[in-house]
């Protein structure tokens, strides 16, 4: 973090650790150099009326040029002298500096309009209140703590590319997910061979709308793969993401499109990336599904894997002429240990991509898709308007480690 950032200087002035005494240092320098005050003023290039108020900390509007000259003469760090001067300013001036710093911090990092719309912040104009809301959400005590975290995150996630400050909601969603995974800190060793054995056993759990996804996520957690669920943030249009946190795979699912089959498809899509792209993702820090990146991770392969896993193309060719026969659809779904909505989803995808026909909103098919609320609530999704990350991470950890039931 920049030592001369306002938040850092303010923090150090409040802590006041081992505060210097410029007056005492000045006197020591006179003795060391065996010169008079008058000679010292000449060496510095300032008169006593400019030097003494800085040495005493009583100056109201210090000139940076003068402070630089005096710190050089005193042979002390410029930052130490600035911190001393800030700590001796009147409280109203420090408050104005804090308010200015809060405003710059908020404007640089957050999309206030959109965070207000999702209910995460209570005010759009009170920078002090906004800062309080944001720090509580992330579980930080100060702006300096957040800036240290953001710097670390930028080094991990943006080492090969420059962070785009214009896409603030996307960054907010990513940084929130990473922070949750850090706080959960899955203690289990990640075992790729165990994941390869587990994946083929996932399909039958799609039939249990209420607890199936939870059961699978608990099993994944036990082999070192952590899954958490986020409510979709406006403009951050991704249905899934894979992170490398402490060298372990972590998956974010969202409720984009509010579709039961899509959530399961996103999970298998991300598990494909964990199985086959995790070394590349580890070097980059994360991968958002559907987002182009420098590693050229193949999204089509992951999509095809997920689609074929649940309902392959051979089965689709068989059922396609009978797609309006609910009994046949139910029978083929049961025989293949999947929820019947996966059959309809495979048909919708095929008709759209291969025949340019839109059946996405066809009620006769969509009525067979379960509501997602019962499914995702068991995973205790991150709800922006009510949750904080420390609180949510604790709950998710209890769900996966103690089998806590969320009602």
What does the H/E/C string look like for the chain? CCCCCHHHHHHHHHHCCCCCCHHHHHHHHHHHHCCCHHHHHHHHCCCHHHHHHHHHCCCCCCCHHHHHHHHHHHCCCHHHHHHHHHHCCCHHHHHHHHHHHHHHHHHHHCCHHHHHHCCCCCCCCCHHHHHHHHHHHHCCCCHHHHHHHHHHHHHHHCCCCCCCCCCHHHHHHHHHHHHHHHHHCCCCCCCHHHHHHHHHHCHHHHHCCCCHHHHHHHHHHHCCCEEEEECCCCCCCCCEEEEEECCEEEEEEECHHHCHHHHHHHHHHHHHHHHHHHHHHHHHCEEECCCCCCCCCCHHHHHHHHHHHHCCHHHHHHHHHHCCCHHHHHHHHHHCCCCCHHHHHHHHHHHHHHHCCCCCCCHHHHCCCCCCHHHHHCCCCECCCCCCHHHHHHHHHHHHHHCCCCC
Task: Give the mean model confidence (pLDDT) for residues 331-346.
Answer: 96
Strand order from edge to edge, sheet including 226-230:
226-230, 248-254, 240-245, 286-288
Residue 294 has pLDDT above 60, yes or no: no
If pLDDT is split at 50, 70 and 90, which confidence band does 151 have?
A: confident
**What mean pLDDT comes out for the span 346-374?**
93
* Separation of alpha carbons 232 and 20, rounded Å: 50
pLDDT at 16 (0 to 100): 60
- Using the predicted structure, report yes or no on whether residue 136 has a pLDDT greater than 70: yes
Asked if residue 143 has pLDDT above 90, the reply is: no
- In degrees and rounded to multiples of 5, residue 190 shows phi and psi of -80, 120
- 108 versus 270: which is more confidently predicted? 270
- Read off the pLDDT of residues 382-393 as tens digits, 9 standing for 90 and up: 888 889 999 999
Query: Residue 159's pLDDT is what?
Result: 54
| 261 pLDDT above the threshold of 70 | yes
pLDDT for the residue numbered 203: 96
Report the chain's terminal Cα–Cα distance, integer Å: 42
**pLDDT > 70 in the chain, percent:** 88
DSSP per residue, 26-58: HHHHHHHHT--HHHHHHHHT--HHHHHHHHHT-
Quote the pLDDT of residue 158.
Answer: 67
CA 82, CA 62: separation in Å to the nearest integer?
9
Q: How far apart are CA 189 and CA 222, in angstroms?
A: 8
β-pair type (240-245, 248-254): antiparallel
Under DSSP, the state recorded for 252 is E
Band the pLDDT of 206: cuts 50, 70, 90: very high
Q: What is the mean pLDDT of the chain?
A: 87
Unique residue bearing structure tokens 């991704």 = 238
Residue found under tokens 């108020």: 53
Can you tell me the mean pLDDT for 269-284?
91
Residue 40: Cβ within 10 Å count: 20
Q: Pick 236 or 378 by higher pLDDT.
A: 378
pLDDT digits 0-9 by tens, 209-253:
999 999 999 999 999 999 999 887 766 667 789 999 999 999 999
The answer on pLDDT for 153 being more than 70 is yes
The mean per-residue pLDDT over the stretch 360-370 comes to: 93
pLDDT at 397: 94
Would you say residue 407 has pLDDT above 60? no
pLDDT at 170 over 90: no
pLDDT at 109 (0 to 100): 85
Q: What is the pLDDT of residues 72-105, one digit of tens each?
A: 999 998 888 888 888 877 666 666 777 777 788 8
**Which range is most confident: 13-27, 261-275, 378-392?**
261-275
| Residues near 385 by beta carbon (within 8 Å), at least 6 away in sequence | 118, 119, 120
Q: What is the pLDDT of residue 104?
A: 81
Calculate the alpha carbon distances from 150 to 144, 145, 231 in Å: 10, 9, 22
Contact 282, 247 (CB under 8 A): yes
**Per-residue model confidence (pLDDT) at position 163:** 53
For residue 292, pLDDT beyond 90: no
245 pairs with which residues across the strands? Answer: 248
């Amino acid at each position: 973090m920049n030592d001369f950032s306002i938040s850092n200087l303010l923090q150090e002035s409040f802590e006041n650790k081992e505060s210097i005494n410029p007056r005492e240092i000045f006197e020591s320098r006179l003795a060391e150099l065996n010169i008079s005050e008058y000679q010292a003023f000449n060496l510095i290039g300032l008169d006593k009326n400019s030097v003494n108020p800085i040495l005493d900390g009583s100056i109201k509007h210090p000139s940076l040029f003068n402070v630089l000259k005096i710190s050089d003469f005193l042979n002390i760090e410029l930052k130490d002298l600035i911190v001393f001067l800030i700590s001796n300013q009147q409280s109203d001036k420090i408050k104005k500096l804090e308010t200015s710093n809060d405003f710059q911090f908020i404007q640089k990092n957050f999309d206030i309009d959109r965070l207000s719309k999702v209910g995460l912040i209570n005010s759009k104009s009170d920078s002090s209140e906004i800062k309080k809301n944001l720090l509580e959400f992330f579980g930080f005590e100060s702006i300096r703590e957040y800036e240290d975290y953001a710097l670390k995150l930028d080094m991990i996630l943006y080492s090969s590319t420059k962070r785009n400050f214009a896409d603030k909601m996307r960054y907010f969603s990513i940084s929130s997910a990473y922070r949750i995974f850090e706080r959960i800190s899955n203690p289990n060793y990640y075992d790729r061979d165990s994941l390869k054995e587990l994946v083929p056993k996932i399909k039958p759990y799609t039939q249990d709308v209420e607890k199936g996804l939870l059961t699978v996520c608990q099993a994944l957690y036990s082999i070192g793969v952590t899954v958490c669920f986020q409510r979709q943030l406006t403009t951050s249009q991704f249905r899934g993401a894979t992170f490398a946190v402490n060298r372990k795979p972590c998956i974010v699912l969202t409720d984009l499109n509010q579709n039961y089959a899509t959530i399961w498809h996103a999970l298998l899509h991300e598990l494909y990336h964990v199985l086959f792209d995790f070394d590349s993702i580890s070097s980059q820090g994360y991968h958002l599904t559907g987002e182009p990146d420098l590693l050229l991770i193949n999204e089509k392969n992951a999509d095809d894997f997920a689609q074929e896993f649940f309902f392959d193309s051979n089965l689709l060719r068989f059922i396609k002429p009978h797609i309006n026969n609910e009994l046949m659809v139910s029978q083929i779904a049961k025989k293949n240990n999947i929820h019947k909505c996966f059959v309809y989803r495979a048909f919708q995808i095929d008709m759209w991509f291969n025949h340019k026909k839109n059946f996405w909103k066809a009620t006769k098919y969509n009525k067979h898709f379960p509501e997602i609320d019962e499914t995702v609530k068991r995973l205790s999704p991150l709800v922006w308007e009510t949750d904080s990350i420390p609180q949510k991470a604790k709950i998710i950890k209890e769900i996966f480690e103690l089998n806590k039931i969320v009602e």
